[in-house]
Amino acid sequence: MKSYRLSRFLWYLFAVPRCAVCRELLSAEDVLRGYVGADVLCPSCRAEWESEKLESCEMCSSPVLDCRCMPELLSTAGAKSLICLADYRPDGAVGRLILRLKTAKLRRAAKFSGKQLAAGIRRECQTYGILPRDLLVTWCPRSKEKRRKIGHDQAELLARAISDSLGCTIQPLFLRAAEGQAQKLLGAQERVENAGALFVRNSAYKIDGRSILLVDDIVTTGATMAHAAALLRGDGAEVVLCAALGRSRLRKNKK
């Protein structure tokens, strides 16, 4: 226990860690006490984060992490559930982390939020009689250009954190299609509809009737994930579960 404190103390000295959301210097005392998330978020962002997770879904009134509502596009595509931490607000703690992950490779923050999503995913696995370690994790890939520009893919970062937490395999089941080429295959209307979903199945990896967990950082209309889920189902995936840090608020009157 003592050596654990010492290693945390040394880590703190060398890393000089800042809050993943507001960039404020983290408190050494909090980190040493080992509070959950103290090495990722400052106390006020932590409080905001936890209260956002408890905000209720407009459709079913459950907290978002317990709610299994999803955009209609996604259920039509054959996805069974969407597991999210919170409704996305650009000024909220979860929302600001999503925005920061788009430009910074925040491993500890990804690990912290991946672990929380994993708890919801485990519960969902029970519903479908899946062993979490049997899940195959994959993600909706960014364009090569974006990856080059920022040096990482935030959906992959999150997917890796979740697969570590669940102890299951992760594979790149999708390849980003060369954008010009993919667009050429589509009609004008479809180009608009598929603007965010320009990837194809990576045939180097087989699905063989396994259940898949599909990860992205945020779900807005659900079009990108629906595109991916449909490809997975079409290729023989047994159950497709989806997970994201945030989702656009689902509204009752939007039916």
Which stretch in 12-20, 176-184, 207-215, 225-233 sits in contact with Zn ion by CB under 5 A?
Answer: 12-20
CB of 176 to Zn ion, least distance (A): 31
Closer residue to Zn ion, CB minimum distance, 47 or 178:
47
Sites for Zn ion among residues 27-86 (CB under 5 A): 42, 45, 57, 59-60, 67, 69
**With CB under 5 A, what is the number of residues at the site for Zn ion?**
11
CB of 237 to Zn ion, least distance (A): 24
**Residue carrying structure tokens 């907290």:** 63
Task: Find the binder of Zn ion among 12, 17, 19, 77 (CB under 5 A).
Answer: 19
Task: Find the binder of Zn ion among 21, 74, 212, 214 (CB under 5 A).
Answer: 21
Question: Dihedrals φ, ψ of 253, to 5°?
Answer: -75, 0
Q: Does 182 bind Zn ion (CB under 5 A)?
A: no
Half-sphere exposure at residue 116, Cβ-oriented, CA atoms within 13 angstroms: 21
CB of 242 to Zn ion, least distance (A): 14
Closer residue to Zn ion, CB minimum distance, 24 or 134:
24
CB of 151 to Zn ion, least distance (A): 24
CB of 18 to Zn ion, least distance (A): 8
- The residues near 226 (Cβ < 8 Å, ≥ 6 apart) are 71, 73, 74, 76, 77, 79, 197
b or e along 148-180 (b: 16 or more beta carbons within 10 Å of the residue's beta carbon)? eeeebbbbbbbbbbbbbbbebebbebbebbeee
Question: 24: left (phi > 0), else alpha (psi -120 to 50), else beta?
Answer: beta
Closer residue to Zn ion, CB minimum distance, 21 or 83:
21
Report whether 39 contacts 17 (CB < 8 A).
Answer: yes
The dihedral built from the CA positions of residue 144, 147, 151 and 155, taken in this order, carries a sign that is: negative
Amino acid type, 102: K
Closer residue to Zn ion, CB minimum distance, 30 or 235:
30
Task: Give the C-alpha distances (Å, rounded to integers) separating 121 from 4, 14, 15, 212.
Answer: 29, 34, 31, 11
Count how many residues are written for the chain.
255
Closer residue to Zn ion, CB minimum distance, 24 or 145:
24
Closer residue to Zn ion, CB minimum distance, 68 or 176:
68
Instruction: Kindly list the residues in this chain that would bind Zn ion in the complex (CB under 5 A).
Output: 19, 21-22, 24, 42, 45, 57, 59-60, 67, 69
